[in-house]
Structure 1
Amino acid sequence: MDNRTEVREFLSTRRAKISPEQAGVPLYGRRRVPGLRREEVARLAGVSTDYYTRLEKGNLSGASDSVLHGIAEALRLDEAERAHLFDLARAARAGGREPRRRPQPSVRPSIQRILDSMTTTAAFVRNGRLDVLASNALCRALYAPVFDDPSRAPNLARFNFLDPRSRDFYPDWEGSANTTVSILRTEAGRDPYDRALTELVGELATRSEAFRTRWAAHDVRLHRTGVKHFHHPVVGDLDVAFDAMELPAEPGLTLTAYTADPGTAAEEKFALLASWAATEERAAAVDG
């Protein structure tokens, strides 16, 4: 991915989102562009208009941390956007490199044992490209449509945009799609030279207009905790809490766990899913 293009489009889309009223900028005359003008961002950030213009055109390599902080404040960037800006600057300082294919990280047996011990929690480990690298039985039951193609490793982004079943599986499909693209966009800023990520983005952009539109928005987010909504083919509607935790000993990997509140219908449906998963696995063992 071209760093200069990424910088230019990220900064220009953030600038377009901030109204003069939000930034405390006086309004004079008619405005031809949405959001702030470049000279207004420059003034708020404490730099010259010429210098900010060069930065927004993609020349971020020489920007100091203090300048980046000033721009982040001027554009009212949230935590995820601020981290993304610094990731883009870090990549710019490293200079252009050819995309490289990284070896697929392996999940240590001890991590798999932790997953397997979580019998009332659906849990999996993923990388920044949303490849599912390890999971427990309840997760495989919860995400049954994602796991039902044995010829290919499960990938949550491909399922979201390329499998028509995802629109029924995710009741809030729009929200799920937005989150998926934001996670991939965040990862692209963190590791712009990951060839597998570049290929995945190219595949999704070629095959899905919904993905292309969202990718062009340059939105990023930190996906740490919240509530996930499912419409499962076996147990129906299911609302569960999720928590995502990075694995410090495995850089780039995240463990995500889904739990149901005690005494709720979701807890009962999780128990039903666990029973169904055990039945399916026993049947598979017999067939095998």
Structure 2
Amino acid sequence: MTTPHPLGEFLLARRARLQPGEVGLPVGTGLRRTQGLRREELAALAGLSIQYYTRLEQGRETNPGGAVLDRIAAALRLNDEEHAHLYALANHAAERVPAPDVRADREVRPGIAALLERVRPWPAYLLTRTGDILAINPEALALFPGLADWEPERRNTIRYLFLHPAARELFVDWERAALGTTAELHALLAADPQVSDLVALVDELKAGSPEFVAPWNRYDVGHRRADQERYRHPLLGDITLAFEVLWLEGGQRITIHQPPDPDDDRGRRALRALSRSVAESHPAASG
């Protein structure tokens, strides 16, 4: 199960990633029993007492003020998105924010369905905030080998990455994709660390994928809004596609894949070949 103290979990994970030399502290000699900085070292960098900082990590202090959070963020070398994540966790710990509306919005609006069809042969799909696939065009379904073999209610891009054996062959840099995906999950959980569907997905991945645990425990934080991914596809061979993520109300998001360069003839030809393959295999999907 997920931790009952999300703020403390975040502080512990990020403290473990810092080494004394990175923050201007003497490295010393001999073997350090603590991974990363010791609590007293981080507390000193943040200008806090060791007793107070320890209570924060252990979940016994739940109402840190903004000045305290800013000093901790500076000591942990957090970027802007991670800094905001720290505030979100602290606000929930202190119950300073109302519980968000986390009802799953699973409606596929007709206009969105039409958009997924119009952008073909660019692969595109509509996701819930947890990565459940609500709608997907044929090219996107063909882009991820084996996804079509799963029942529609099981189709989820995060589950596919960590639990489908084909994913390790498809993603050329699988470790990078795993880090980006776990960072997204951490960012989503900041809205409500105890929201049931996200907690259930994280627990499923912890139980089903040993390879999920290491990137999850790094505790990177961030939303993937635009990036590129390299694939080793059984039909297309090695291909790089850019993707854009369009966030909608209710936590839904559309992801559209396309060649990274408008003048990339090879990418366009590859996606047209993917579309022809879909049409030949499933004539009804060709429109």
Q: Same-fold call, TM > 0.5?
A: yes
CA shift, 1:226, in A, is: 1.8
CA shift, 1:189, in A, is: 2.6
CA shift, 1:176, in A, is: 2.2
> Contact between 2:73 and 2:83, CA under 8 Å: does it hold in 1?
yes
- Mapped to 2, the partners of 1:38 and 1:192 lie a distance apart of 24
Aligned partner of 2:13 in structure 1 is 13
- Mapped to 2, the partners of 1:208 and 1:156 lie a distance apart of 14
- Give a deviation string over 1:3-59, Cα, whole Å, max 9, x none: 643222221121121222222234567654233232332233233332222112224
Mark the runs of 5 or more structure 1 residues left unpaired by the alignment. Answer: none
Aligned partner of 2:147 in structure 1 is 146
Paired AA for residue 11 in structure 1: L
C-alpha RMSD of matched pairs (Å): 3.0
- Give a deviation string over 1:196-218, Cα, whole Å, max 9, x none: 22222222222221123333333
Equivalent residues in 2 for 1:19-98, closer than 5 Å? 19-26=19-26, 31-59=32-60, 61-94=62-95
> Contact between 2:186 and 2:220, CA under 8 Å: does it hold in 1?
yes
- Go from structure 1 to structure 2 and tell me whether the alpha carbon gap of 1:66 and 1:255 turns closer, same or farther (over 3 Å shift): farther
Q: Between 255-264 and 40-49, report the one with greater CA deviation.
A: 40-49
Aligned partner of 2:165 in structure 1 is 164
CA shift, 1:284, in A, is: 6.3
- Mapped to 1, the partners of 2:60 and 2:82 lie a distance apart of 18
- Go from structure 1 to structure 2 and tell me whether the alpha carbon gap of 1:200 and 1:28 turns closer, same or farther (over 3 Å shift): closer
> Contact between 1:168 and 1:231, CA under 8 Å: does it hold in 2?
yes
- Go from structure 1 to structure 2 and tell me whether the alpha carbon gap of 1:53 and 1:233 turns closer, same or farther (over 3 Å shift): same
- Mapped to 1, the partners of 2:165 and 2:104 lie a distance apart of 30
> Contact between 1:131 and 1:155, CA under 8 Å: does it hold in 2?
yes
Equivalent residues in 2 for 1:1-288, closer than 5 Å? 4-26=4-26, 31-59=32-60, 61-94=62-95, 102-247=103-248, 250-260=249-259, 261=261, 262-283=263-284
Q: Between 1-10 and 220-229, report the one with greater CA deviation.
A: 1-10
> Contact between 2:14 and 2:218, CA under 8 Å: does it hold in 1?
no
- Go from structure 1 to structure 2 and tell me whether the alpha carbon gap of 1:172 and 1:86 turns closer, same or farther (over 3 Å shift): same
- Mapped to 1, the partners of 2:139 and 2:110 lie a distance apart of 18
- Mapped to 1, the partners of 2:129 and 2:61 lie a distance apart of 24
> Contact between 1:183 and 1:221, CA under 8 Å: does it hold in 2?
yes
> Contact between 1:128 and 1:184, CA under 8 Å: does it hold in 2?
no
SS at match of 1:165: helix
- Mapped to 2, the partners of 1:164 and 1:28 lie a distance apart of 44
Paired AA for residue 9 in structure 1: E
CA shift, 1:167, in A, is: 1.5
Q: How many residues align?
A: 284
Mark the runs of 5 or more structure 2 residues left unpaired by the alignment. Answer: none
- Go from structure 1 to structure 2 and tell me whether the alpha carbon gap of 1:20 and 1:212 turns closer, same or farther (over 3 Å shift): closer
CA shift, 1:225, in A, is: 2.0
